[in-house]
Amino acid sequence: MCGIVGYTGAHEAAPVLVAGLRRLEYRGYDSAGLATLDRDRLTVRKRAGRVRALEELLESESAPGRCGISHTRWATHGPANDRNAHPHLGGRGGAIRVAVVHNGVIENHAALRRELESQGFEFHSQTDTEVIAHLIARELETTDDLFEAVQRAMPRLEGTYGLGVISPSRPGEVVGARFGSPLVVGLGEGEHLLASDPVAIAPHTAQVAFLQDGEVVRLTPHDFEMRHLEHGPITPRIDRLDWKPDAVELGGHAHYMIKEIREQPETIVNTCRGRLRRSEATAVFGGLNLSPRQLRRVRRVVFAACGTSWHAALVGEYLIERLADLPVEVEYASEFRYRNAPLDDRTLVFVLSQSGETADTLGALREAKRRGHPTLAIVNTVGSTIAREADGGIYLHAGPEVGVASTKAFSAQVAVLTLLALYLGRLRHLSFPDGLAVIDAIEQVPALLGEVLKTEPLIEEAAGRIASAHSALYLGRDLHYPVALEGALKLKEISYIHAEGYPTAEMKHGPIALVDRHTPCIFVVPRGSLHAKTLSNLEEVRARDGLVISVGTEDDQAVAGLSQVFLPIPEAPEVVQPLLAVVPLQLLAYHVARQRGCDIDKPRNLAKSVTVE
């Protein structure tokens, strides 16, 4: 949610920090700031509002120095204003000893504030972060070692934190610390970086080290060291980002969201590359860390996820039950972690998260592990906390997704779940010809997605029929019910129009009361096994003067004849239809939001990576 960028090296820090913050704008924030060190001179600049406001301030009031930290804040304690913006300073008696930026929530901040105030520390904000700055400053009164001071202060903190810290007493040094909020170190040539997301540092280096809970790092331009609070010095694992530096740039597109929608043919190719084995009519995965014998023993699969990942998991439920004849349950991770869900020893738990840092999903993973279940992850970010803590898993290889409203990551998750359903099916009862048919279908998808994307002008025109609506219904059956849910979520997220997704047959059990000429009903109805049953539902909406917008197979005259707006997708086997049908809904939401003048990549109140409960 909040964003951190730190830098120490041969270049001026402020431009590097601001550029990094711009790459983190997708996370959601309400203020931005930075602190730099020019030898022992500390400069702080911060402003409520967008990063652009900080840039305008820096044009008139520079921040010199080749070492610094920066932050975008999403308010938790105190309103969005200049005073509550990060960085925050620590010291007493007029001496400024430290500047701190912080992601997370300190649960015992009130008690710490009272303690520090009683010792003469003055507070200038309403944030929980300022107590961290004063705690570290207090330690610096007895040591000149910032690295040591941070380690002494950390045990006093209850809650979650990712920290970036600098001190005038340690020019050229940045210290980071993590507990429950992600941090990554970027290892460059004559420079090192610290960030809450690898997106911020991808243009500088592909070599990264992810901090784990309880770890602290000291960065200088030419060196870095890491320690664990309990275990002492550690040798970190160095990972390599598989992103091209320009993958986090707009590249001529108006918004990241539309860029990522248009990248989906390539995304499916990358996600499926090397994972289809025609000679055995199955899929292959290198990281599940469970043998075919162990997987054949599984009698139940549980998926835990949040938001868009939850919708992708629902598609996976339909596919695995259909192809592998295994019962599947899809749980909200935020609920799963706190209720006593009965899980026997033949249950396999999967968690899904694009970032690999979603707090509720990580909590669900840890709960399943505590109960002794084999726990696998489907994530997009190499080296993320969920990827490291899971017993095994599958990377999406979707590349960085910057837009808050997930698009290509959803498609990558659905593609992986399709492969997983094929793999589990072939371990059980799915025949060789049927397995080969699934592979044939998957291999068609990138080209078919290219055809869907060509219909964007038609979808942009259709968006004008929805842009003035106050509410919309999304309806689909079977595999397309989760697609309807995802379409409704996309519209809500970026256009602020209320939308709900339902199984199509459920419409007459309540939602039909909402149908009138002002409420668009968006049906997902490609040709398939339940096609005929859905036609009567379209008739019901038409009979009540409702606006019918449908996503259907391109030559389906029956659906087109019942729709005021018909959005075609190519003919395709049912097993891959969700990958095609979701794209018109993504484009529809995008163009509705654009016509309404919404901030598409940074929708209000939302964050890309939800790293607090």
- pLDDT reported for residue 557: 94
pLDDT one-digit tens code per residue, 247-292 = 667 778 999 999 999 999 999 999 999 999 999 999 999 889 889 9
Mean pLDDT, to the nearest integer, of 69-90? Answer: 88
Q: Which of 341-355, 529-543, 596-610 has the highest mean pLDDT?
A: 341-355
422 and 477 together in one domain: no
Q: Which of 419, 452, 485 is the last residue of a domain?
A: 452
| SS3 annotation, 13-37 | HHHHHHHHHHHCHHHCCCEEEEEEE
215 and 240 together in one domain: yes
CA end-to-end span of the chain: 11
pLDDT one-digit tens code per residue, 568-585 = 999 999 999 999 999 999
- pLDDT reported for residue 28: 66
Quickly state the pLDDT bin for 609 (edges 50, 70, 90).
low
Neighbouring residues of 407: CB distance < 8 A, sequence distance ≥ 6:
257, 260, 261, 264, 401, 490, 586
Q: What is the CATH number of the domain that holds 440?
A: 3.40.50.10490
Answer yes or no: is pLDDT of 4 > 80: yes
Answer yes or no: is pLDDT of 77 > 80: no
Amino acid at 262: R
d(CA 51, CA 21): 7
442 and 458 together in one domain: no
- pLDDT reported for residue 246: 64
pLDDT one-digit tens code per residue, 485-523 = 999 999 999 999 999 999 988 777 877 777 778 889 999
258 and 405 together in one domain: yes
Quickly state the pLDDT bin for 358 (edges 50, 70, 90).
confident
- Per the DSSP assignment, residues forming a β-bridge with 498 are 471
d(CA 19, CA 566): 42
Active site residues: 2, 608
- pLDDT reported for residue 1: 60
Q: Which of 224, 244, 264 is the last residue of a domain?
A: 244
Q: Is the peptide bond before 87 cis (omega within 30 degrees of 0)?
A: yes
Residue span of the structural domain in which 160 resides: 3-244
268 and 231 together in one domain: no
Residue identified by tokens 């609920």 is 335
282 and 228 together in one domain: no
- The tokens of 501 are what? 């997704």
Residue of 576, 580, 609, 270 whose CA lies nearest to 417: 576
Q: What is the CATH number of the domain that holds 134?
A: 3.60.20.10
- pLDDT reported for residue 244: 67
- pLDDT reported for residue 272: 96
293 and 398 together in one domain: yes
Quickly state the pLDDT bin for 245 (edges 50, 70, 90).
low
446 and 467 together in one domain: no
Residue of 498, 503, 497 whose CA lies nearest to 475: 503
pLDDT one-digit tens code per residue, 445-465 = 999 999 999 999 999 999 999
Answer yes or no: is pLDDT of 611 > 60: no
Whole-prediction pTM:
0.82
Q: Which of 244, 262, 288 is the last residue of a domain?
A: 244
259 and 299 together in one domain: yes
Residue 517 φ then ψ, to 5°: -70, -10
Q: How many domains does the chain have?
A: 3
pLDDT one-digit tens code per residue, 159-176 = 989 999 999 999 999 999
- The tokens of 315 are what? 């598609």
402 and 269 together in one domain: yes
28 and 78 together in one domain: yes
Answer yes or no: is pLDDT of 214 > 60: yes
Query: Which of 25-29, 30-34, 215-219 is the least confident region?
Result: 25-29
d(CA 541, CA 389): 48
Q: Which of 76-80, 89-93, 178-182, 342-346 has the highest mean pLDDT?
A: 89-93
304 and 174 together in one domain: no
d(CA 407, CA 400): 11
- Per the DSSP assignment, residues forming a β-bridge with 101 are 164
